[in-house]
Structure 1
Amino acid sequence: MNPDLFSAQTPDAGKPLADRMRPRSLENFFGQNHLLAAGKPLRNAIESGALHSMVFWGPPGTGKTTLARMLANYCGAEFLSLSAVLSGVKDIRAAVDQARQRQTSGKQTVLFVDEVHRFNKAQQDAFLPYVEDGTLLFIGATTENPSFELNNALLSRSRVYVLRQHEAEELLRILRHALEDTEHGLGYPPSSMSDAQLMLFVQAADGDARRALNLLEIATDLSDGNVVSDELIKEVVAGGMRRFDKGGEVFYDQISALHKSVRGSSPDGALYWLARMLDGGCDPLYIARRVVRMASEDIGNADPRALQVCMSAWDTVERLGSPEGELALAQALVYLAVAPKSNAVYKAFNMAMADVRESGSHEVPLHLRNAPTKLMKELDYGKCYRYAHDEPEGYAAGENYFPDELAPRSYYVPVPRGLEEKIAARLQHFRELDRQYKNNK
């Protein structure tokens, strides 16, 4: 780091800025007010030292590790840390042994497990006896939904606290504090960098305090003396990716938001979430597949052209790649969003699948079977089948197309929108022909 940037050399200058600036007290912890404001349960537990096993769930850079360290300090406990990426059961046992030794001298141990969702079931189970008997206080940190990634047994012994990504104002305070702090931070004079400049780091960090501090540190390292120019900051933050994890909780949240924007007839919302996913590095072909699904699930026969538009967009993405093909995805999503909506086919298909699962494997009625051989004809395959094209209006009124053991069903109920309005009228006409056929028998 450029020594000209410091008014005094900091004692831990060799550490990254983000590590040096970890808050040592609740008063210096910016954000997570829904957990740490006065009177909140977690705040009360910390200040009273009456801690319990817990899981911190939230995006990167929201203070999960910092909070865990702070909890250990407030209750006077020894802090042990494991990373689920690098550790196994052997490391867990070693940590338990250390906790037992400290327990004999009356000292409590906090075991912090970062990225705990990466531990398998057996590894997670290894904690249970020692959490249960009080050998250690367990604190897990995860960016993934604990209800999907953690064992029920471990969850039942821990309280889950949800951490939120930092607001822009919180990140601005964190950066300003790091810039001016002469003991652990950069030791800049308050006038050295404007809030407008710091906001460039905030926008690139996308709610991640660690990323914001890293970007600030890089910019000061590269600066000329005490001057950090706008041009340098823009170079440092260029290409910063918004938060998107390509397979975890955020991934499914964003594709859900995209789908629901289409279903809710909001082309603007759909375009926003498309842009967020593409900007975050999502594979355009994955989005193309989901868009085709939306065409069938939410538009259906209200506008059958929607499926064709989406298939063409998929083909375009495959042919042109990125970024040229992305415009075709935008076009398809806008078309879906403004098209008339129907989930009639989706509901009908689900009902049919449910019937198949519940009713067993009924045989095909003889009149619906094909009879390509003499033997099959002698066994009455295809007997009494009525060829619809030879019937009035091309419709064999009263014909049954279900197994003999299963009463005819009505799965498909068109909605009064788009083409399905006409389909509904035609089906109603067929029902009337069925009724007349039965009355005339």
Structure 2
Amino acid sequence: MTTSAPARPIRIAMLGCGVVGTEVARFLLRDAEELGRRVGAPVELVGIAVRRLERTRSLDIPSELFTTDAKALVTRGDLDVVIEVIGGIEPARELILAALESGASVVTANKALLAEDGDTLYEAAVKAERDLYYEAAVAGAIPIVRPLRESLAGDRVERVLGIVNGTTNFILDAMTTTGAGFDDALDEAQRLGFAEADPTADVEGFDAAAKAAILAGLAFHTRVTIADVHREGITEVTAADVASASEIGSVVKLLAICEIDPEGSQVSVRVHPAMIPATHPLASVRGAYNAVFVESEAAGQLMFYGPGAGGAPTASAVLGDVVTVARHRVDGVFGPGETVHAQVEVLDIGRARTRYHVQIDVEDRPGVLAAVAEAFAVHDVSIKTVRQEGRGGDAQLVVVTHEADDAALAATVGQLRDLEMVRGVSSVMRVEGVS
């Protein structure tokens, strides 16, 4: 009886050891034996690059693994997998490219870099014949990258709606359930640790926009960068907006929306607050949770739901990629790369089409409704419903439109503001998820 030689260990290095990196390292060390069985070869964490060694003293990770020389670590020449969890554009881009050029596959959670310059990373991975995996970059523990890249590769994805930022969802959910204003809800999110001290990337929609670019590229097989994504945050959402949504049976969510037209020639990618019906599956996503709702031709409607951030949940997504990439190294293959064969046009926001909820402060006198309706008609924006709220100095018209171009709605709002009997347009919000 003969026995095969033991498989060479899969050597893994990591860039960064913050909240996510710490959890990844602990799981790799604790579960090395079990992960090795799943991979088909022993797995070995051989190095972790950090900026400051003194910050590693409180971590339950062997001190000899740490180094401050990230470049030397990723170019040592014997690595199979490099995990990048430092974030940002540089030095992450330089280090990932160096790792690929040195023969290592890469697992990254870096949504900002992928959304800004993913094509450079993909091209380097293809040239090196190595993997580039990034499940953790979009929605934490939620598996959405692989379903779009692999499971739905034979289907035609038509639309992706996502709640992909836990901070903003927590804030809007708090405004919905308690009636709080934005500032109070943000304070509560910061107190509970759901929002950073500087929440700009979250509340202004930058984080969600990067994820939308990645989702759109995967769904529609075209190259989409963050510069292609129309972005609006939630800082202007008021308690009155949330109350108005409730009055029409809806809730307000910050949505990442990726759509392709029926001909497959134009894509719309946008991030903004929107009203969605309370009956829509995304409306029930509470707190800091994330969810991605996919509509495809053959599979129909699918929803992926779970924790979108946090050390352990995100580490789960990273480790899933590590196991897959390590298996590829054992088998001498590599997985799917970037698919950009479609290369369809990405629409400007003015050409995107949706429905709108418009609140108009008006004088309470005859002829107002006719003048307002005329402003909508001039710009070919069809009114679905209109109702008056309040009387006298508090009179307000609330208009819900049928689907219209964003540019047409903007022109309508501009004309409304010029009308003598209109005191102001107090709110304009898109309405999504309506058949």
Taking structure 1 as the reference length, what is the TM-score of the superposition?
0.22
Bigger relative contact order, structure 1 or 2, given CA contacts below 8 A and separation 6+? 2
Q: Which has the higher helix share?
A: 1
Taking structure 2 as the reference length, what is the TM-score of the superposition?
0.23
Q: Which has the higher strand share?
A: 2
